[in-house]
Amino acid sequence: MKKQIFKKLLDSYISRTSTEQENQLVEKWYNSFDNDGGLPAGLKDPGKRRALRNAMHSGIQRKIDIPVRHKFNFYRPAYLKIAVAIFLISGIGLLFWYKNNSSTPTQNNDFTYISTGASTMKKLTLPDSSEIWLNVASNLHYNRNFNAKQREVVLDQGEAFFKVKHNPNRPFVVRTGALRTRVLGTSFNIRSYPGINEVKITVLTGKVQVSRKNRLLGLLTPGQQIVYNKLTAQDSIHEMNPGQSNSWIKGKTYLSQASFTELALVLKNRYGVNLKTSSSKIEKLRFSMLLDQKTPLENTIKAICSIHQTKYRRRYGNEIELY
C-alpha cells in the first residue's frame, strides 16, 4: 500500500468517515504488534512492542478524541515503517518517544519498558531500591543491567516522581529528551508530555543537577522548579511549594501559570474529558489552581471558568468547550 493511500485511509479513520471495511483494515494493522515478523529489530522484544503499542493507543485517543470503544488492531507488520512516517508527518507523533531514543542499543532483552494507560498509574521499585511513581499515559525504560555499572532511566514521555536511593558512588541519571537530570540520592518530579512544549523538573528533597548537551542549566534545591521549552531551548527557574510536586500521586494537581494545553492534558488524565476552545484569546490564558480528583467534574469546570470569567458548554461525547 502506497504511503499516500495509507495516509488518506488513516485520515478517514481519524475523522470517522471511513467505511467498516476500512476500519477493519486499519485496526488489523495495529494488531501486527502481537507478531514479530517484519518488525524492526528494536521492536522484536515483546515488552518493548507492548509498551509502544500502549503508547500509540493512548496517544491516538488523546489526539483524535475517540471513545475507548475503538480498540486498534493492525495486521501487516510491513506497514510499521510507513506508519512511523505517516504519524510523524500528520503531527500525531505517537512513535516519537521510541524514535527519539533510537541511539540506545536495540538488542533483545536489553531493556525493561514500563508504560501506563490513559487512566492508570504505576509504582515500581528499581534494583537499587529506588522508587518511581509513573503518572497516566507515561512511558519509561531502563537497562536490565541497571545498577551493575550505572543507574540510568529514560523517561520517554509523561510524568514520573523519583525517590532515589542514596549512592555516592553511582549517580542516578534520568534522560528526558535533550535534558539530563543527575542526582546522588533525592526525590524529584519530571513532567514531559508530547504536545506540551514545556518540560518541568521540580525538586522535593536533596539537590538535582539539570543539563542539556553538557551545558549546566541549574543546580536545583528543594522548592525549585526548572521549566525548559522544547521549542525555543530556553529555560527558567522558579520557586514553588515542594510538597506540590508529587501531589498528583494522591489525586491532587497544582497548576501554576499553566497553559490551556497543559490544563486540558490534566483534565484528560484526571477525568477523561477533552477540553477545547475555538477562542485564540482563551488559548493564550494561564491557569493557577488546585485540581482535586475527588471534586466532581462539573465543579472543576466551573472553578476553571471563574478564573477568567469564561463560560463552558458540553459538546458531543466527552468534549467540553470553553468560550
Are 226 and 240 in contact by the 8 Å Cβ rule? The answer is no
Note whether 12 and 42 are same-domain residues.
yes
The whole-number pLDDT of residue 145 equals 85
Q: Which residues of the chain have pLDDT under 70?
A: 1-109
pLDDT in tens, 191-235: 999 889 999 999 999 999 999 988 999 999 999 999 999 999 999
Note whether 115 and 211 are same-domain residues.
yes
Q: How far is Cα 89 from Cα 276, in angstroms, rounded to an integer?
A: 23
The whole-number pLDDT of residue 20 equals 65
Note whether 141 and 236 are same-domain residues.
yes
Query: Within a 10 A sphere around the Cβ of 178, how many other Cβ atoms?
Result: 13
The whole-number pLDDT of residue 286 equals 96
Least Cα distance to 141 among 179, 105, 93 occurs for 105
Note whether 268 and 300 are same-domain residues.
yes
Domain finish residue from 43, 68, 99: 99
Note whether 68 and 129 are same-domain residues.
no
Contacts by 259-266 with C-beta closer than 8 Å and gap 24+?
259/196, 259/197, 259/198, 259/286, 259/287, 260/284, 260/285, 260/287, 261/195, 261/196, 261/197, 262/196, 262/198, 263/287, 263/304, 265/193, 265/195, 265/196, 266/291
Domain finish residue from 244, 260, 281: 244
Q: Quick check: is 105 in a domain?
A: no
Domain finish residue from 99, 120, 143: 99
| Domain membership of residue 302 as a residue range | 251-322
Q: How far is Cα 89 from Cα 9, in angstroms, rounded to an integer?
A: 14
SS3 82: helix
Cell matching residue 97: 518517544
Per the structure, the count of domains in the chain is 3
The sign one gets for the Cα dihedral 201, 245, 322, 88 is: positive
Least Cα distance to 71 among 18, 19, 28 occurs for 28
In one letter, which amino acid is 237?
I
The whole-number pLDDT of residue 179 equals 96
In one letter, which amino acid is 157?
Q
**pTM value > 0.85:** no
SS3 180: strand
The rounded radius of gyration (Å) of the Cα atoms in the chain is 20
Q: How far is Cα 262 from Cα 191, in angstroms, rounded to an integer?
A: 11
